[in-house]
A and B are shown apart, each in its own frame.
Chain A
Amino acid sequence: QLSLFRFTVKRPFSTSHSSVDSKEMKKFQLLAHKWWDEEGEYAALHSMNDIRVPFIRDTLLSMSSNYHLGNPLSGIKILDVGCGGGLLSEPLGRLGASVTGIDPVEDNIRTADRHKSFDPVLAKRIQYKSSSLEEIVEESMETFDVIVASEVVEHVADLETFIKCCSQVLKPEGSLFITTINKTQLSYVLGIVVAEKIMGIVPEGTHEWEKFVPPEELERLLESSGFSVKSVNGMLYNPLSGCWSWVGSTSLNYAVHAVKSAAPAHSHATDTLPGTDIPQRSGTAGTAG
């Protein structure tokens, strides 16, 4: 079975340091065609756009001095890691960003490509690729202004490698947005038992509690990989209303915004691609957000 996946994903060599977990891939393969049913298995993810898109948008706007409210993310290159069917890539594309969506499950990419094809504006702004993060590192060094990894890190096999790869493809002072699930007793009870087995908010078997990531650990890994963590916010899903909201507690779901440190003084200055809105600041890491 592993060789079958090697064939479909076209991995040229075995990867003992891969961040992609093949068991995880299989789970998502089975649901590849369900992504765009707003009331189906992925309803909670559709609904999450109502808070994660404004979060990303407003954070980026607050860091930029030159934008137009009619096209707020224009000129920004975003990498959507684990894009699935494109649920988050599309709103970001509509707001003007150039989005590259990657996902190791080919069926997901097929679904995403088909869905965006009907809208000529999105078809141009978004490119999808069936790939893992490591596979694009070589050709995408310091290419992206922003990386979003939403509901992904709880599925990766090797989180440290994943974060290091994020750092490699991100421009200095670029932003990394992560949303994921904390590893607590509460998240076991509500996130697995209730959400999966009782209420069916998430398809059963989607999550493994062992792979949930406490915010402290995520912060530690980020800081040790050259990121400065700017904000950590708790998120809560209300199954009755079907809505997400920001909350004080990070015991269940949470979102992180981190910024990659600026280029060290002795290396050559990075070229700013035309149209990038994020101002270059000289100096040390930990710039004001």
Chain B
Amino acid sequence: SAPPLYDVVVSGGGMVGSAMAAVLGHDIHFHDKKIALLEAGPRKEYDHMPESYSNRVSSISPGSATLLSSCGAWDHVCSLRLKPFRRMQVWDACSEAMIVFEKDDLDDMGYIVENDVIMSALTKQLDAVADRVEVFYRSKAVGYTWPLPSHGCDTSPWVQVELADGRRLQTKLLIGADGHNSMVRKEAEIKNIEHQYDQSAVVATLHLSEATDNNVAWQRFLPTGPIALLPLSDTASSLVWSTSHDHASELLAMDEESFVDSINSAFWSNVNHSDFIDSAGAMFRSAISLLKPSGTAVRQLPPSVAKVDPESRATFPLGVGHATEYVQHRVALIGDAAHRVHPLAGQGVNLGFGDIACLAHHLSAAAFNGSDLGSLKHLLKFETERQRHNVSLIAATDVLKRLYSTTLTPLVLLRTWGLQATNALPPVKVRI
């Protein structure tokens, strides 16, 4: 007999894949549909979080929070733990240039949430729609068979999925949420433009010297790469330090005291300043304050770090990638499977959640029109909308990464003036 037929199969049960399945499962027009989620790993759920923080955290934008709210997951996140931040200070190690992001109404700009918390919340919400969404844990997809063009043939028009344990599924639409090494993308023969950065990210959980409101996210661009301090609580912050592979290995190998010293020095030291840049920067700043008195913000000082959580240091390589197509007949890619970005903009998972909001919108409308869910007609609308949004952001992030990876004076001057000007111009800042 034929393998079971699903309306949608989501391959990959990470934050993005799970959220996709949860959002569709909570969509009223999917009330009678059958959805499957394939996850190679085990089920992840916490009733309460362990005392220590996980070293993998994400910066969640208000838009992403809204999406998680729409499927009921945000309430669970709030009841586990998260840290809202109100302000973002970004500055250059080679100059005094700084840019501060702050919402006028003192609203939250974003939230720092451990990835495990998001996963746990999504697992709960998937349970809530178990009559529509079937989750296959410890089930890795090992092969996909694509249908021939549907007209005039007698073979199955659906996508065939083969699991590691030999079980088979059929689906009208396959959504690939299986990360930057996406197997769905490779099997669909969708070309991926990718580049491995000569950088790795070092993550760790840090304890501050003294308790503070800690509602500011800090990022400083060093010549070797950006270092970011993301608030977790009044006394703890998460480190994301993008640097060369060698330096990353050093940071992991050194003793805890030296590690903490390196971090503090990275945030506080002015060794990379040059008099020339400093005077040029100061001159530009006075020019701006003549034209626009409120255009220079007060520089706050980042907190100093006292201790690092043992066992919390880890590193992973960084790269950039973008799929030339997000969709094909009966296939759609979302999240890192479609696009991979440098963490410096704190955008990674938010792009994935944006993909979900867009795809779910189009699939919901298609379901309410009685359309074949795998039809390219509405899948292409999703692709166009998201590529338009994602490409400019990924390109800009890549440019920023390269621009800030140098100490060459002309480029430092350029980015110094650029940052100062951007800080002074409300319209540009709001768009960011």
Contact = CB atoms under 8 A, between A and B. Distances in A.
B369 interface: yes
A237 to B, nearest CB: 15
Interface string A58-100: 0000000000111110000000000000000011111110000
Interface stretch (B63-71, B86-94, B153-161, B198-206): B153-161
A205 interface: no
Contacts of B151: 33-37, 40
B373 to A, nearest CB: 9
B31 A69 contact: yes
A92 B377 contact: no
Interface string B142-179: 00000001111010111000000000000000000000
Q: Which of A57, A118, A119 is the most central at the interface, judged by chain B CB atoms within 10 Å of its CB?
A: A118
Contacts of A95: 368, 370
Contact of B369 (A54, A71, A93, A118): A54
Nearest to A111: B152
A69 B31 CA distance: 8
B32 interface: yes
A50 B123 CA distance: 35
Given A38-B377, A50-B369, A118-B157, A70 B30 contact: yes
Interface string B363-399: 0000111111001110000000000000000000000
B361 interface: no
B29 interface: yes
Given A33-B152, A36-B151, A68 B375 contact: no
B5 interface: yes
A49 B369 contact: yes
Interface in B19-64: 28-32
B370 A70 contact: no
A71 B33 CA distance: 10
A3 B368 CA distance: 44
B5 A119 contact: yes
A110 to B, nearest CB: 12
Contacts of B368: 57, 69, 72, 95
What secondary structure prevails in chain B residues at the interface with A?
A: loop
Contacts of B152: 33-34, 36-37
Q: Which of B151, B154, B371 is the most central at the interface, judged by chain A CB atoms within 10 Å of its CB?
A: B151
A69 B371 contact: no
Nearest to A89: B370
A249 B29 CA distance: 33
Interface in A89-127: 90-96, 114-115, 118-120
A91 B370 contact: yes
A146 to B, nearest CB: 14
Interface residues of B, number: 23
Nearest to B172: A119
A263 interface: no
Contacts of B156: 118
A115 B154 CA distance: 9
Nearest to A91: B370
A144 to B, nearest CB: 18
Contacts of A119: 5
A50 B366 CA distance: 9
A53 interface: yes
B371 A91 contact: yes
A90 B370 contact: yes
A69 B29 contact: yes
Given A72-B368, A92-B370, A94-B370, A38 B375 contact: yes
A36 B369 contact: no
A120 B5 contact: yes
Contact of B158 (A40, A70, A72, A118): A118
A53 B154 CA distance: 27
Contact of A68 (B31, B154, B369): B31
Nearest to A74: B32
B28 A49 contact: no
Contacts of A38: 375-377
Nearest to B170: A118
A33 B368 CA distance: 28
B32 A53 contact: no
Contacts of B157: 118
Interface in B341-371: 367-371
Nearest to B370: A91
A61 to B, nearest CB: 11
Nearest to B28: A69
16 contacts: A34-B152, A37-B150, A38-B376, A49-B369, A49-B371, A50-B369, A57-B369, A57-B370, A70-B28, A70-B30, A70-B32, A71-B32, A94-B370, A96-B32, A114-B154, A118-B156
6 tightest Cβ-Cβ pairs between the two chains A and B: A70-B31, A91-B370, A37-B151, A94-B370, A36-B151, A95-B370
Given A90-B372, A118-B158, 13 more contacts: A34-B151, A36-B151, A37-B152, A50-B369, A53-B369, A53-B371, A57-B368, A69-B368, A70-B30, A94-B367, A95-B370, A119-B5, A120-B5
Interface of B: 5, 28-32, 149-152, 154, 156-158, 367-372, 375-377
